[in-house]
Amino acid sequence: MRLGFRVVGKSFLREYPFEEAYFLPYARQFLEALAIPLILLGGVNQLETAERAVGEGFSFVAMARALLREPDLVARWEKGDRTDGRCIHCNKCMPTIYSGTHCVLVSEE
């Protein structure tokens, strides 16, 4: 599986310029149209973004990749540290989904 990702991964795991909360404009449309709890997902690395999303009416904020890179990120925020998450959304975690998903950059630090 690992070899397969290395050989063909770049053809479907493309690099793209990262934008904080890249699904937020679309998610707002669902929030306006539906009366059910919704979760904002898609590139949340900043406490300000999470707070704004909850303030706008989202019930939860998903931060999978950010928490792969820094499992203690939310705990840091609760303690008053407002530093942005260090996830760069490089997709290098994707090939690890079949072998214990993790951020490969953590081992490089």
8 exposure class (CB count in 10 Å sphere: 0-12, 13-18, 19+): exposed
The per-residue pLDDT string of the chain (109 residues; one tens digit each, 9 = 90 and over) reads 667 666 766 666 666 678 899 999 999 999 999 999 999 999 999 999 999 999 999 999 999 999 999 999 999 999 999 999 999 888 888 888 888 999 999 866 6
pTM for the whole structure: 0.78
CA 92, 73, 56, 35: dihedral to nearest 10 degrees?
A: 70
Helices 47-56 and 24-33, interaxial angle, to 10°?
20
Residue ranges and CATH numbers for the domains of the chain are: 2-108 (3.40.50)
CA distance 81 to 2: 37
